[in-house]
Structure 1
Amino acid sequence: MLWLLVVGGRPALGWGGVGREVWRLYHHWYGVLAHGTFPAHDPLWQYPPGAGPVLLAPALLPGLTYFQAFVVLTLAADAAVTAALARAGTRPGRSLRGAAYWTCGLPLLLHLPLARYDVQVTALAVIALLTATRSPRAYGAFAALGALVKVWPVLVLLGVARGRDTRSAWTWAAGTGATALAVLAALFAHPLAFLRQQGGRGVQIESLGGTVLGLATHAGWPGTVRYRYGAMEFTGPYVGTVARLSLLLTGLALALMLLWRLRAGHRTPATPADAALSAVLLFTVTSRVISPQYLIWLLGLAAVCLTSRHTAQRPVAVLVLAAAAVSAVVYPVLYDQVTACTWTGCALMVVRNGLLTAAAVRSCTRVWRATRLDTAPPAPRGGRGAVVPAPASGPRLLH
């Protein structure tokens, strides 16, 4: 991956340089953030205020250029994820498949993970889920920190057990998030400027709606592709309708997961991670934007699922792996075909988004089935909650 990053400008690796976003865009934002303000007037700034410290972090390594320091910190986050998954996999009832999945799956995205800060965000979500059964407080705190960097990690809290664990996790999430936001608001001006930029987003060519519009160009639809808000987006008739439909589907997906939470009965140690993967998959496929780095999130969540022998997401993890491999072909290798909406580009998007949609549907279905009340272990003889009487006489054996 490091070698690909060094030679990333070669034509064989496709359209544009993947690392350009770090040394041009991130470095520019670093200069703005260093003066105590978020890039409020930059239409490309669409990230919550927690992204600020991540983009400033390369200053902690003064002997390196910004690009080099960013990559080193990304590798450190990757190592933290691997170590956390490996440690979790050695516990009783756990498996090292999660660590192997992350280690072998991430390079399928070529050098892209080293030139985006999604590995750092995924690390916070992974650590949150791995602490879910042992410390609901840490679970909530890490999820809140991840949500402040990129919003999606808040979804990992959907699977927390009802009752005391829910109160503890959400209380600590709210407290940690509010405290961190207050600190960032005190240190930087315009911490909520990203909301205005997010509202203007259109339909990215790599989204599910974008795939439909790309195919529509071959049926005579007159839309075009333009660079807007840091992504290649469609412009033309019906684009606004597709964008609104995507938002509606995202709302319905969230409602579906909330309904699952209300009706879920039986739980396993894998339920928090399984529900998190399902929720983020639904969020991804219904989004107006499906950037290739979104696959980093899914690989990390699938890896957490695979650390548990109770997970219901093994087939889903395979689909995510396949989608990651196709994503690398979509970007950067054949991105010129995708932006031109050629038949090759459209076929790639149909395959990649078809895999993600199949993964989302199967993930949601398996989560619902695994948590039905009738899947719970049978109650002891004598009925649910029956007490087995102790022997009337004889010595008690202590084991």
Structure 2
Amino acid sequence: METKGAGRSLAWLLTVWGVTRLVLLLFVFQVWVFPGPDVTSDVSVIYRGWYEVLRHGTFPLDDVTWQYPPAAALPVLAPAALPFLSYAHAFFMLAFLADAVVLQLLLYPAGRSGRSLRGAWVWVAGVPLLGPTVFARYDVMVTAVAVAALLAGVRHPRVMGALTAFGALLKVWPALLLVGCFRRRAWASAAVTAAGLAALFAVSMPGAFAFLTFQRDRGTEVESLGALVFHVARHFGWDGQVLLNYGSVEFVGPHVEQVSTAALALTGAAFGWLLLWRLRVTRRPPHTLADAAFTAVLVFTVTSRVISPQYLVWLVGLAAVCLTFRASRMGAPALLVVLASFVTVLEFPLGFVHVVTSDRYGVLLLAVRNGLLVAASVMAARRLWRATVPPAPAAPLPPEPARPRETPVSS
């Protein structure tokens, strides 16, 4: 009976995945038009432009919108593997395949003792809530690498290290997967792989690390947590502007630099907390690796100067890995991330005009989305600490003062 129930649950899971992904493909292929700005233009215009430069053996040195590590060239060039399709359509199909790979990775350990299908359900349900943006960015491909690295980490630390290094050279954030890793073999493998790939790109293609300079000049993007300051301030006479700056829509004007600096300070504080956690942790069950990675990426996303919609793909993927472990305590933070994904599609692309103009509806959407992410971050950090760091021993009570012996009264 239990086997029949598991089979029925898997059948429902695959059916929901198939239907939702078909709908996403219909949107990105523009068989159906998704409301709001065209999210596929990044692929057909920006990615395609990078492709034309990259295929000649150099990085886009004159394009400040290229803000990615050198291995990001690979997903941009990958559509060449499907020459029978247009560039954009080939990219969408590759993103779809990456999505399918993630599902397969999450299903593989589900039959083992202590594992669950909950993680696969998080992925199946969370991804379509973000709308067609998922297949119109290369973040789903990076997430596939990160999910593979975390799932390999329990038994194959060297494989995890190599995949983590590769993921970090795709989009930096997968380096945070090592936060909860205490195996030297994983760290050594990551260091060797990163050094080798970085040297290969530096020698073979000029401008491999130009993205570091471009990233330094980023401002406060309109969807970030810090941007709420300016969204509210515009209603009280703040005279700044919203401009397309360094490839994203950012606030430009008085006090923007101070808010960006404050965001960097928060990121530094998050790093300090994670370092303290590593020094204090004593209990490390297998799911700690995934729980720590999820928590680390959450807090760094929330404190970032940019919270683009595709960032939620990372969080959904890592939350899904956490919930493949029955013992993981990340169920509630994962649910908050899924809810934030739904609010994200409401603000981009559906309500992006309201966000850009900072009207009340746009501010409300951002406040709710970012509030959910902040709550998820605090909750995840608290649960990770309580599950892995022993409580401080209670101070011993002072001894009671000795009572004077009573002298018996003679009758």
Verify: 1:86 aligned to 2:113, yes or no.
no
Spell out, residue by residue over 1:95-144, the C-alpha distance to the aligned partner (whole angstroms, 9 max, x if none): 01111210111000011110000000001110110011101101111110
Q: 1:114 aligns with which of 132, 135, 149?
A: 135
Q: 2:302 aligns with which of 277, 285, 309?
A: 285
Rounded to whole Å, the distance in 2 between the matches of 1:59 and 1:4 is 22
2:337–2:372 Cα contact (<8 Å) kept: yes
Match for 1:285: what amino acid? V
1:246–1:288 Cα contact (<8 Å) kept: yes
Match for 1:295: what amino acid? L
- 1:54-73 counterparts in 2 under 5 A? 54-73=75-94
Spell out, residue by residue over 1:281-308, the C-alpha distance to the aligned partner (whole angstroms, 9 max, x if none): 1001100000000000000000000000
Rounded to whole Å, the distance in 2 between the matches of 1:225 and 1:246 is 18
**Structure-2 residue corresponding to 1:243:** 260
Rounded to whole Å, the distance in 1 between the matches of 2:63 and 2:258 is 26
Q: 2:230 aligns with which of 206, 213, 223?
A: 213
Shift of residue 187 of structure 1? 2.2
Match for 1:262: what amino acid? L
Shift of residue 185 of structure 1? 1.9
- 1:23-172 counterparts in 2 under 5 A? 23-161=44-182, 165=183, 167-172=184-189
2:29–2:89 Cα contact (<8 Å) kept: no
Rounded to whole Å, the distance in 1 between the matches of 2:213 and 2:387 is 40
From the CA coordinates, give the structure whose radius of gyration is larger: 2
Calculate the TM-score normalised by the size of structure 2.
Answer: 0.88
Spell out, residue by residue over 1:289-340, the C-alpha distance to the aligned partner (whole angstroms, 9 max, x if none): 0000000000000000000011010000000000000000000001000000
Shift of residue 7 of structure 1? 3.2
Identify unmatched segments of 5+ residues in structure 2. 1-23, 393-411
Rounded to whole Å, the distance in 2 between the matches of 1:101 and 1:8 is 27
Verify: 1:344 aligned to 2:365, yes or no.
no
Rounded to whole Å, the distance in 2 between the matches of 1:189 and 1:112 is 30
**Structure-2 residue corresponding to 1:19:** 40
Identical columns (%) = 49
Report the RMSD for the aligned CA atoms in angstroms: 1.3
**Deviates most, 294-303 or 219-228:** 219-228
Verify: 1:367 aligned to 2:389, yes or no.
no
1:124–1:142 Cα contact (<8 Å) kept: yes
Rounded to whole Å, the distance in 2 between the matches of 1:59 and 1:3 is 22
Rounded to whole Å, the distance in 1 between the matches of 2:73 and 2:357 is 34
Match for 1:264: what amino acid? V
Spell out, residue by residue over 1:233-289, the C-alpha distance to the aligned partner (whole angstroms, 9 max, x if none): 001110000001101111110111111011011111110110011100100110000
Rounded to whole Å, the distance in 1 between the matches of 2:123 and 2:63 is 34
Rounded to whole Å, the distance in 1 between the matches of 2:31 and 2:245 is 23
2:67–2:211 Cα contact (<8 Å) kept: yes
Spell out, residue by residue over 1:149-174, the C-alpha distance to the aligned partner (whole angstroms, 9 max, x if none): 0000000111013xxx1x11110001
Match for 1:313: what amino acid? M
2:287–2:322 Cα contact (<8 Å) kept: yes
Rounded to whole Å, the distance in 1 between the matches of 2:205 and 2:154 is 35
Rounded to whole Å, the distance in 1 between the matches of 2:32 and 2:236 is 34
Partner of 1:297, secondary structure, is helix
Runs of 4+ in 1 over 4 A off after TM superposition: none
Verify: 1:328 aligned to 2:349, yes or no.
no
**Structure-2 residue corresponding to 1:5:** 28
Spell out, residue by residue over 1:41-91, the C-alpha distance to the aligned partner (whole angstroms, 9 max, x if none): 101010000101111111111111111111111111111110000002121
Rounded to whole Å, the distance in 2 between the matches of 1:9 and 1:75 is 17
- 1:370-385 counterparts in 2 under 5 A? 370-373=387-390
Partner of 1:64, secondary structure, is coil
Match for 2:354: what amino acid? Q
**Structure-2 residue corresponding to 1:393:** none
Rounded to whole Å, the distance in 2 between the matches of 1:8 and 1:229 is 31
2:28–2:92 Cα contact (<8 Å) kept: no
Rounded to whole Å, the distance in 1 between the matches of 2:199 and 2:259 is 36
Shift of residue 374 of structure 1? 5.5
2:180–2:292 Cα contact (<8 Å) kept: yes
1:18–1:115 Cα contact (<8 Å) kept: yes
Q: 1:197 aligns with which of 211, 214, 230?
A: 214
**Structure-2 residue corresponding to 1:229:** 246
**Structure-2 residue corresponding to 1:296:** 313
Change in CA separation of 1:132 and 1:118 when aligned onto 2, cut-off 3 Å: same
1:8–1:19 Cα contact (<8 Å) kept: no
**Structure-2 residue corresponding to 1:267:** 284
**Structure-2 residue corresponding to 1:315:** 332
Rounded to whole Å, the distance in 2 between the matches of 1:187 and 1:56 is 15
Partner of 1:274, secondary structure, is helix
Rounded to whole Å, the distance in 2 between the matches of 1:101 and 1:49 is 31
2:26–2:32 Cα contact (<8 Å) kept: no
Rounded to whole Å, the distance in 2 between the matches of 1:331 and 1:118 is 16
Match for 2:35: what amino acid? L
